[in-house]
Amino acid sequence: MILLIRTAHVFADPRQSSPWAVRMAEIATARTSAPVAVWASVSGAPAGTLLFSCFYQNLAEQSAATATLMADADYLAGIAEAKQHLVGPPDDKHVEILHTAGGEYKRPPVGGLVQLTVATPNPGRIGAAVTWGLEITELVAEILGVPVMFGRSLAGPFGELNWLGASADAAGADLQREALTKDSRYLTKVDESGDVFRADSAQVQIVRRIA
């Protein structure tokens, strides 16, 4: 399974840009039958950043969906309107889901939060990074009692790994963070990553679902 994350860099009135983003997601969902969610950045990206996400079985399915949208007048009109809201073109990221722990992952409802953590292995340490990545995924899912996804980026920094976890709301995210901070197993496992990852590569982004 492939997760597409499209990040739109917004510098406009959110009263206009947010409805535009929701409308684009509705069009894409209706035309392709692949549900598109819209997110607003909470932390880890420039203020006002909007993101679209969608799951596909593979790149072939996404390519077919893209071809459908590129022939749709409403979608193309929305692209033309984008220059009123965005600073430059959006950035696309594809994450191949390698493993899900703690049950089937489901998007949180509107208002829910998702945390995306990324890190890039050091040269010669990709195998160790994947092994550690699987172990930390299982452990976090066990501690929090929620599904956690683990995957690799198809492009960008070579070997980049990704973890995604969700909470129903901000209060739930606070409780999850507190639970991890207090769990010695988690802290020990994080320390075990040692020289596995590039020190400057680890990043965290938190987003809130708006549609």
pLDDT at position 198 over 90 = yes
Work out the average pLDDT over 32-53. 95
Work out the average pLDDT over 118-136. 96
Look at residue 64 in the predicted model and tell me its pLDDT.
96
The CA-atom distances, in angstroms, between 75 and each of 87, 105, 106, 111, 174 are 19, 29, 26, 26, 37
DSSP 55-91: EESSHHHHHHHHHHHTT-HHHHHHHHHHTTTBSS--E
Digit-coded pLDDT (tens) for 6-16:
999 988 788 88
Q: Are 137 and 101 in contact (CB under 8 A)?
A: yes
pLDDT-derived band of residue 92, with 50, 70 and 90 as boundaries? very high
User: Which domains are seen in the chain, by residue range?
Assistant: 2-92 (3.30.70.100), 95-209 (3.30.70.100)
Look at residue 14 in the predicted model and tell me its pLDDT.
85
DSSP 162-173: EEEEEESSHHHH
Query: CA geometry: angle at 49 spanning 41 and 112, to 5°?
Result: 25
Look at residue 154 in the predicted model and tell me its pLDDT.
97
Query: CA geometry: angle at 204 spanning 203 and 210, to 5°?
Result: 140
Digit-coded pLDDT (tens) for 47-61:
889 999 999 999 999
pLDDT at position 199 over 90 = no
